[in-house]
Chains A and B, each alone.
Chain A
Amino acid sequence: MREYREDQPVDFAIVGTGAGGGTLACKLAEYGFSVVAFDAGPYWRPLEDFASDEMHQSKLYWTDERIVDGENPLQLGSNNSGKSVGGSTVHFAMVSLRFRPEWFKSLSILGYGADWPIDWREMWDYYAEVEQTLKVSGPINYPWGPKRPRYPYRAHELNAAALVLAEGAEALGIGWTATPLATLSAPRGLAHPCVYRGMCVIGCSTNAKQSVLVTWLPRALEAGAEIRDLAMVGSIEHDSRGLVTGVHYLREGRWRFQKARNVVVAGYSIETPRLLLNSASGKFPQGLANSSGLVGKNLMVQANQAVWGISDREIRSYKGPPSLAITEHWNYSDEGKDFHGGYSYMSQGPLPMLWGATQSSKRGLWGQALLDEMEKYNHQVGLKIVGETLPQERNCVTLTDERDQYGLRIPRVTHSYSDNDKRLIAHSLRFMRQALQATGARDIWDETDDTCHLNGTARMGFDRKSSVVNADCRSWDIPNLWICDGSVFPTVGGVNPSLTIQAIACRTADRIRAMARRGELITT
């Protein structure tokens, strides 16, 4: 790996090496820029470093303290961001979906949320680039949306949990498909195909999972980028002109400074606003890039409610990637909806710790009742949504006065569902209950309060008043400060976000290259 000096400015210092930062680091390095990408987490070698154990693998998660409040406080940690080179994609569930095209203009076409300053047709090409890079395994014909190129690898075999989803969908007369997944269904060079061990959300020790760690980052290194791991960026420095000059970061017990011509923040929807807010200065008392006051605002989760039941058949959903089948019916059909937005739902495969936590914390079970219920583990089957929630300014990331081990102020994450969110959730629970019943499942219950994927907090938009960055992920306030991760989403849609984040990063890289050619980048 190439290494850069701290006192010589690099073209780009990127904070975070996940879906946004890792992808961008690769593309920018390939375009000839000098790049140092920082990550607070370690650089894992999955084949050597990962054990098959839920508890042990919590080492992948961002477990630094965060305060949650609001009417519906979030569960973060394992459920959320990763602290690893490769970001959350090291432990993500690999579901790789495209947005419904209308969502990029949901305000003008569908009447809710906000418009994106990007056209879906442009995104369609970038999606294809990402799918190729991840060798996404997907169905031959995708049932919804405009035509897309064939997925590079074929869909995986379905497990019983996925077949239950299919049965339910067919019984209710809606479409379903094998989920496009970023894990190999056939060898890729030296990489093994998936062995269906089902432990994807604790890290893939097979290395079949096509995370940022094993796709973009090796390419980034080859192109001359430096990945600086175990490096926690605490603040971004700027000069008297209001241009950023580099980042302060803690590594090996000491605060250091890396000079840079451009800084990209890609720390995910909590750490990104936190870093911008923590970098407040005399010149920017509200934090960087925050003249709109929107940094940290419009945090959007995706609803993650589920129905669970017991099948007479053995399901053993711990086998195979957890979400092998999906229906996007309610993303693409707006018929009879009493809410804005959409949701997809997928089959599930919770591992024992998670399943125990679900049964106890969500249903209040303990004692013999808990053990009895847990004993049905191999017969449980569930359907779980990824549901769109609407942007609300009251859902936000702010700073508390408590400080963490780095001496940095701890973020507070405030979350409440809107009425529209609640209607969407109710619709989904009703529908999935019918679907599960149709497969003969018994003892069906609703898990009503789970969430997944965070987005927003530094939205992109058309002007500096109503957004933090423009379509190119460039901040309106500081022209050499960029934000390139899930935080730039104006709306979230009803699909998992990582493919879109990576597509945006690819687009941003192309835009930066074009701007550089035209001499529109800041040269310090």
Chain B
Amino acid sequence: MRAARITRRQQDSLTSLHEAASNLRQKYAVPDVLRTHVRPVTTSSREAQWRNAAGRQLNLGAALLSLSVLADSGIEHYRGSFQNRAMYVPLGVSALALAASLFGVLDTRARSHVLRDGLYGVAAMTGVIGLGFHGYNILKRPGRFSWLNLFYAAPLGAPVALLLAGALGRGAEKVREDRSSRILGHPAGQTLGLLTSAGLAGTAAEAGLLHFRGAFQNPGMFLPVTLPPVAAGLLAASVINPGNALRRAAKACLNLTALLGFAGVAFHAYGVSRSMGGWRNWSQNLLGGPPLPAPPSFTGLALGGLAALSLVDKEQRSPST
């Protein structure tokens, strides 16, 4: 697993997931129907290994994003009383994307899977449609695209997270396929690097909007609007202009951003406890207080970014013929 440049802890957890997966696989052999359309392996087993590792890490990123979307849309749409039946859709889709991602994480084969690929596509589409819905929600409120509606109407950032989950997942599938895999005409690592970089910047922008709404009343609220944009910038820079120093810096920042996602949940949990009535008043404070499920999207994107970096690394070392 040396190839995938990930932290030791992540490596450990991946390894143990791997072991668990192979046990599971032996126990419940994947039925044939799930195996259809699996492309033949053409690359060397070494390369297949690192591609697969990168793919699985991307799956893991997508998993975290999907989880964040699932929990967030669950809470927010519950708050919105599921006024419109379509509000159930992102729950279902993100749950499926989560399942697909977990399947991907466990799947050590260096191949994409049509089911995952399809589900990721659906997730991305749902994100786009959701963006339309949320935009419409904003537009029909008095004030239109006013600050007030950006603060309190349906958030534009949330569906984008689902879109990103889908895109990362698609990327995961793509990089597993073969070494010459290209996305949107560029080497997969580059495209994914730029995508996660943009995703990080966008997510930071959303955190910025909401923390601005909260008047940055706690200094900790500045973290997600400073660290992730730096990580995003370094990531983009080292994708475009690879160099050791840049890459190391990008990796460090991405690692910190990944941690920030978890720290954010803790911060938000503290925020809930500090709201009127604290956890006893959970039925209000989980909805009205700082959103618990939001910060992990940073982790998801940061993992995606790390995977992209390692891909870029490989792409560089063994240029496709």
Contact, CB under 8 Å: A139 / B276: no
Contact, CB under 8 Å: A188 / B276: no
Q: Mark B21-51, 1 if CB is under 8 A from A, else 0.
A: 0000000000000000000000000000000
Residues of chain A within 8 A of B143, CB atoms compared: 166
CB distance from B192 to the nearest CB of A (A): 35
Contact, CB under 8 Å: A139 / B275: no
CB interface residues, B 179-220, toward A, < 8 Å: 212-215, 217-218
Among B1-9, B121-129, B145-153, the stretch that binds chain A is B145-153
Q: Check A139/B142 contact, CB under 8 A, given A158-B152, A192-B276, A193-B275.
A: no
Of B212, B217, B277, B288, which is in contact with the most chain A CB atoms at under 10 Å from its CB?
Answer: B217
CA A178 – CA B149 in complex, angstroms? 11
Cβ of A448 < 8 Å from any Cβ of B?
no
Contact, CB under 8 Å: A163 / B142: yes
CA A195 – CA B284 in complex, angstroms? 8
Among A149-157, A477-485, A511-519, the stretch that binds chain B is A149-157
CA A185 – CA B217 in complex, angstroms? 10
Contact, CB under 8 Å: B151 / A154: yes
Place the interface of chain A in its size category.
20 to 34
CB distance from B107 to the nearest CB of A (A): 44
Q: Check A170/B142 contact, CB under 8 A, given A139-B148, A154-B212, A155-B148.
A: yes
Cβ of B248 < 8 Å from any Cβ of A?
no
Q: Mark A197-211, 1 if CB is under 8 A from B, else 0.
A: 000000000101000
Cβ of A446 < 8 Å from any Cβ of B?
no
Contact, CB under 8 Å: B276 / A195: yes
CB interface residues, B 102-150, toward A, < 8 Å: 141-143, 147-148
CB distance from B288 to the nearest CB of A (A): 7
Residues of chain A within 8 A of B288, CB atoms compared: 195-196
Contact, CB under 8 Å: A140 / B284: no
Cβ of A229 < 8 Å from any Cβ of B?
no
CA A329 – CA B271 in complex, angstroms? 38
Of A163, A169, A178, which is in contact with the most chain B CB atoms at under 10 Å from its CB?
Answer: A178
Contact, CB under 8 Å: B142 / A186: no
CB distance from A47 to the nearest CB of B (A): 9
Cβ of A167 < 8 Å from any Cβ of B?
yes
CA A187 – CA B288 in complex, angstroms? 12
Q: Mark A170-186, 1 if CB is under 8 A from B, else 0.
A: 10000010100000011
Q: Check A186/B148 contact, CB under 8 A, given A166-B143, A195-B284.
A: no
Closest to A206 in B: B276
Residues of chain A within 8 A of B275, CB atoms compared: 187, 192-193, 195
Closest to A135 in B: B215
Contact, CB under 8 Å: A186 / B214: yes
Contact, CB under 8 Å: A188 / B147: no
Q: Which of B141, B147, B152, B218 interacts with A187 by CB under 8 Å? A: B218
Q: Which of B147, B213, B274, B276 interacts with A185 by CB under 8 Å? A: B213
Of A141, A158, A190, which is in contact with the most chain B CB atoms at under 10 Å from its CB?
Answer: A158
Residues of chain B within 8 A of A140, CB atoms compared: 147
Q: How many A-B residue pairs have CB under 8 A?
A: 59
Closest to A186 in B: B214
Give the interface SS of chain A, mostly helix, strand, loop or mixed.
Answer: loop
Contact, CB under 8 Å: A186 / B141: no
CB distance from A435 to the nearest CB of B (A): 12
Q: Mark A122-149, 1 if CB is under 8 A from B, else 0.
A: 0000000000000100011100000000
Residues of chain A within 8 A of B276, CB atoms compared: 192-193, 195, 206, 208
Residues of chain B within 8 A of A135, CB atoms compared: 215
Contact, CB under 8 Å: B284 / A153: no
Contact, CB under 8 Å: B142 / A152: no
Q: Check A152/B147 contact, CB under 8 A, given A167-B142, A170-B142.
A: no
CA A193 – CA B288 in complex, angstroms? 10
Q: Check A166/B151 contact, CB under 8 A, given A185-B213, A192-B274, A192-B276.
A: no
Q: Check A163/B141 contact, CB under 8 A, given A187-B218, A188-B217.
A: yes
CB distance from B221 to the nearest CB of A (A): 9
CB distance from A255 to the nearest CB of B (A): 42
Q: Check A158/B148 contact, CB under 8 A, given A163-B141, A187-B274, A195-B276.
A: yes
CA A185 – CA B212 in complex, angstroms? 11
Q: Which of B142, B213, B277, B284 interacts with A154 by CB under 8 Å? A: B213
CA A190 – CA B271 in complex, angstroms? 11
Residues of chain B within 8 A of A176, CB atoms compared: 142
Closest to A166 in B: B142
CA A152 – CA B271 in complex, angstroms? 20
CB distance from A141 to the nearest CB of B (A): 8
CA A135 – CA B214 in complex, angstroms? 12
Closest to B141 in A: A163
Q: Mark A156-168, 1 if CB is under 8 A from B, else 0.
A: 0110000100110
Residues of chain A within 8 A of B277, CB atoms compared: 195
Closest to A194 in B: B276
Of A135, A139, A186, which is in contact with the most chain B CB atoms at under 10 Å from its CB?
Answer: A186
Residues of chain B within 8 A of A185, CB atoms compared: 213-215
CB distance from B274 to the nearest CB of A (A): 6
CA A81 – CA B321 in complex, angstroms? 84
Contact, CB under 8 Å: B215 / A153: yes
CB interface residues, A 405-451, toward B, < 8 Å: none
CB distance from A478 to the nearest CB of B (A): 44
CA A178 – CA B276 in complex, angstroms? 23
Shortest 9 CB-CB contacts between residues of A and residues of B: A166-B142, A186-B214, A192-B276, A157-B152, A140-B147, A153-B215, A186-B217, A186-B215, A154-B213
21 pairs, CB–CB < 8 Å, chain A vs chain B: A140-B147, A154-B213, A154-B215, A155-B147, A155-B148, A158-B152, A163-B142, A166-B143, A167-B142, A170-B142, A178-B148, A185-B215, A186-B213, A186-B214, A187-B217, A192-B274, A192-B275, A192-B276, A193-B275, A195-B284, A206-B276
List the interface of chain B (C-beta within 8 A of A).
141-143, 147-148, 151-152, 212-215, 217-218, 271, 274-277, 284, 288
10 further A-B contacts with Cβ under 8 Å, apart from A153-B217, A166-B143, A170-B142, are A152-B215, A153-B215, A154-B151, A154-B212, A154-B215, A157-B151, A178-B148, A185-B215, A195-B277, A196-B288
